[in-house]
Structure 1
Amino acid sequence: MKVTIKDIAREAGVSISTVSYALNKKGRIVSDKHRRIIEIARKYNYVPNANARSLASGLSNNIGLLLYNSAGLTSPYILKCISTLSDIIGENYGWLALCQLKSPAIDLQDMRRYLGNSRSDGIIVFNAQLPKEVIALLSTAKTPYIVFGREQASCSYVCCDDAAGIREGFDALYARDKRKVLFISGCAEAEMDKDVRTQAYLGCIADHGLAFCQVVGGGYSREQTAAALGAYFAGGGETPQAIMAANDEMAYAAIHVLEERGLIPGQDVALIGFDDADPEHNDAIGLTSIRQPIGQMTRACIEYIYQIVEKDEPALLQQKYAPQLVVRAGTLL
């Protein structure tokens, strides 16, 4: 017969509530009694019933992750974030519930529909700017939420310090006497004035008083980057000494474009990507990249939501995490 929480309580000589507390407590084992309960549960391969636990605690033991359509699910960075979130939630809480919205941005109708049809302990909004009316709805619904990957003054967020990463990469190139650095932005030209990575590059150019300043739009994709760089060179654009890309996918495309022109990345043109979400692949091709601390950022999101859930206290978390320049000799001279 299936072992129940009552059986564990009887064998341990404690109450059912004590067993429930011990099995659901997060963190280190705090007493011999706690240890004994854990040992008995493991002996019988006991797994708490999620539905019963949810009814008792009022928690669903899952966190909703919202992505809007333009984010896509093909980027190594996005997939790494989803995988890491799922692993951390699975180890400590329950499940990650992914919802990809069809609209080009998260709007009031989307959020109302989501809140009405989901049951999550909190919401992580992936790299989206939340309108004021959506923030007001979430506040009224008293649903813990946090934005991942984008700074937003009016709500909680965790993100990488993109500007610091670009400066670190640019300074590494400058220290190697690279004065002609081309930047591949993920944004269209009309949006570059709001893009942190693009503006950080332009700031580096201004700080060093450099004459060469070239930005092409790569749309965070290999295809758009190949087309944009091809158009740049076809229009008589000067071959740079180095290329910085706002993500690794665009850096991969730049490698192919350079090779098609008979240039050797790492010898003729230095190259730096951003994210380093696939370090094994970057090791294999020798791509220098600015690594985002995905593990730290994802864990901070989850802990923030459950801190609010458990303490029932509103809080504001606005945290930027420092990236790391990972130098690989294949593309950085």
Structure 2
Amino acid sequence: MASIKDIAKQAGVSISTVSYALNGSEKVTKETAARILAIAKELNYVPHAAARLLKTKKSNLIGIFLTDFSGNFYGDLLQGVKDYLHLRGYDLLVCSGSQSRRLIAERMIDGAIILDETFSTEELLQYTNNGHKAVVLDRELNHSHINQVLLDNKAGATLAMEYLIEQGHDKIYTVTGPEGSYDANQRLRAVHQVIARIPQVEFHEISGDFSKAAGEAAAKRIANEYTRPVAVFCLNDEMAIGLYRYIRIHSDLIIGEHIHLIGFDNIELAQFIQPRLATINYSMHKWGALASEQLLKMLSGESVEPERIYVSLIKGETIKALN
């Protein structure tokens, strides 16, 4: 692999002159810079990232840290992050797992966006106490180097529950999410608050983990217990789709008649379920873009405030009210 030294030798200039040319410095004439860049291209020169970081203190890379990449959830979110960063000269690294967090400590990325329940708050605070900047999408923290862009989970879960109750249901199941998930816990808290106001509703809670398999397991239990029309609030669309699939294949029950179902997230696949899956909608693309905007503002020294992504209800197309 060619080095700056190789370029300098072929160009007949000093190493410092090559460095100035490669970094666009005005200390080198346009003619000399053009000749050096042509030689660098000819030699397939690739800048050494660590050396460049030492010099510029900037990588123009942003890392987003996710628990995993499963399901249909992340696509629009990542696209929103990527689109915003690209317009401002940054690239995106998508990271998962504890080893990838070294990128923060080693300053290989300029800032971090966190949507990873396995990324402990204690570890995150260690980084930010050392000057690293982060935007969190999955927790509430008060720190000068951390800002938060959160979903309005409480409003969304309240809309979902009230929608089902308005159909006249007096028996409601909720399929929960992963125990460590901030979003799942916020949604479940709102569910409990609604139920506490309407004690005549028979309420059942089924453990889930945001996967289609969890939805299928919940559907099996609901089908076995079925005696009258029921409503089900799955705390995300993945589980709702798993539940729908099981009921359609393995039972005589009909979604929209025997079981009224609502999810959360309005993922693309939910739009193709028939009857149309009722769900809580928000812009994942906007969520990603806003998180990126906040992080870049922090990196440039601008002041920022916590932001919230608002939600709305999408009703199922064929749901039949009981009353």
Shorter-chain TM band: 0.7 to 0.9
For the residue of structure 2 that corresponds to 1:215, the secondary structure is strand
Correspondence list, 1:116-195, <5 A: 116-117=105-106, 119-128=108-117, 131=120, 133-152=122-141, 155-187=146-178, 195=185
1:228-277 CA-to-partner distances (Å, cap 9, x unmatched) read 3323544x365552111111111111112322221111122211110012
Q: Are the aligned partners of 1:202 and 1:213 in contact in 2 as well (CA < 8 Å)?
A: no
- Note if 1:323 corresponds to 2:322: no
Please identify the structure whose Cα radius of gyration is greater: 2
| Residues 176 and 208, structure 2, Cα contact 8 Å, conserved in 1 | yes
RMSD: 3.2
Could you tell me which amino acid in structure 2 is paired with residue 72 of structure 1? D
**Correspondence list, 1:197-216, <5 A:** 197-216=187-206
Change in Cα spacing, 1:171 to 1:131, as seen in structure 2 (3 Å) is same
Equivalent in the alignment of 2:213:
223
Secondary structure at 1:76 match in 2 = coil
* Cα pair distance change 1:331/1:251, threshold 3 Å: farther
Of 274, 284, 292, 2:282 maps to 292
Q: Does the 8 A contact of 2:111 with 2:132 survive in 1?
A: yes
Are 1:265 and 2:266 counterparts? no
8 Å contact 2:104–2:111 — kept in the other structure? no
Measured after TM superposition, the shift of residue 88 of structure 1 is 2.2
Counterparts of 1:206 and 1:229 in 2: how far apart (Å)?
25
Report if the CA contact (8 A) 2:65-2:116 is conserved.
Answer: no
TM (norm. structure 1) is: 0.70
- For the residue of structure 1 that corresponds to 2:300, the secondary structure is helix
Distance of 2:314 and 2:278 partners within structure 1: 6
The AA in structure 1 aligned to 2:281 is R
Per-residue deviation at 1:91? Answer: 2.7
Please name the residue that 1:307 is paired with: 297
Evaluate the alpha carbon distance shift between residue 228 and residue 241 of structure 1 in structure 2; reply closer, same or farther with a 3 A threshold.
closer
Which residue of 2 is the match for residue 75 of structure 1?
71
For residues 1-16 of structure 1, what are the structure 2 equivalents within 5 Å?
A: none
CA distance in 2: counterparts of 1:78 and 1:332, whole angstroms? 32
| Contact 2:128–2:134, Cα closer than 8 Å, also in 1 | no
Read off the aligned partner of 2:289 and give its amino acid letter: R
SS state at 1:158 partner: strand
1:181 Cα deviation after fit:
1.8
2:72 is matched by which residue type in structure 1? P
Secondary structure of residue in 1 paired with 2:70: coil
Q: Tell me, yes or no, if the aligned pair for 1:73 and 1:79 is still in contact at 8 Å.
A: no
Q: Which consecutive unaligned segments of at least 5 residues does structure 2 have?
A: 1-24, 28-45
Change (3 A) 1:249 1:164: same
Match of 2:7 in 1: none
Q: Secondary structure at the match of 2:69?
A: coil
Structure 1: 5+ residue runs without aligned partners? 1-14, 18-49, 104-108
- The aligned counterpart of 2:80 is 84
CA gap of 1:329–1:270, structure 2 versus 1, over 3 A, is same
What's the % identity of the aligned pairs? 20
Aligned to 1:157, what secondary structure does the other structure show? Answer: strand
Structure 1 residue 323, shift from structure 2 partner? 0.8
The equivalent of 1:59 in structure 2 is: 58
